[in-house]
Amino acid sequence: MASLMEMKEIFRSADAVCFDVDSTVIREEGIDELAKFCGVGDAVAEMTRRAMGGTVTFKAALTARLGLIRPSYEQVQKLISDNPPQLTPGIRELVSRLHQRGVQVFLISGGFQSIVEHVALQLNIPTANVFANRLKFYFNGEYAGFDETQPTAESGGKGKVIAHLKQQFQFKKVVMIGDGATDMEACPPADCFIGFGGNVIRKQVKEKAKWYITHFDELLKELEER
């Protein structure tokens, strides 16, 4: 297991940095916001808490939550236009600095492609670098389920995405940053996991992560060390 000093060196020399999105890159949980928008906020928030705590499988929680919400295409688009995701302070500067250093930045999310792509656009991250769940709709716009073949639809999916990226791009050092259990379990294959508690603190992650931060400025300072 890498020491904190070794982890900091991995971060400073990383080929790629992968971020979770909900409660990490953005301040809210996208699925909870969608649930509130569709009038089933409280029930879905409780399911999210259980999923992030790692007590139920991600796919089971996602299926159950979406079964309650049943969002239409129109509702998803209206959510993005009326209540756009709020970027976490410091993330814009951090992603910009990573890009300046030639580091590839990816968004790997258990949230929804349409919302995550909106976030990527704000951060100048190409949509090809977005891995998220895809909602399916009938021709009339009604909810028709989600694409269960996406790796991000399953527990362990974020690790599968990172393994794929390492193979595809021959990355030597990949860092995963996130707030939840599904992010922490992506290391390995990620070479380093940084726990993030700037929006919400997950007890399990705070206790187990060797490197835990509450503001992205801490990572910006690390990059200036070199």
Q: To 10 degrees, what angle do helices 41-52 and 30-37 make?
A: 160
The string of DSSP letters for 5-54 reads HHHHHHHHT-SEEEE-IIIIIBSS-HHHHHHHHTT-HHHHHHHHHHHHTT
Q: Tell me which of 22, 32, 179, 183 is the catalytic residue.
A: 22
What is the distance between the alpha carbons of residues 7 and 90, in angstroms, rounded to a whole number? 21
Q: Which residues contact 69 (CB under 8 A, 6 or more apart)?
A: 31, 34, 35, 38, 40, 44, 143
22 classed as catalytic: yes
Alpha helices in 13-156 (DSSP H): 30-37, 41-52, 58-69, 73-82, 91-100, 113-122
What is the distance between the alpha carbons of residues 211 and 200, in angstroms, rounded to a whole number? 16
Q: Tell me which of 15, 20, 32, 191 is the catalytic residue.
A: 20
What is the set of active-site residues?
20, 22
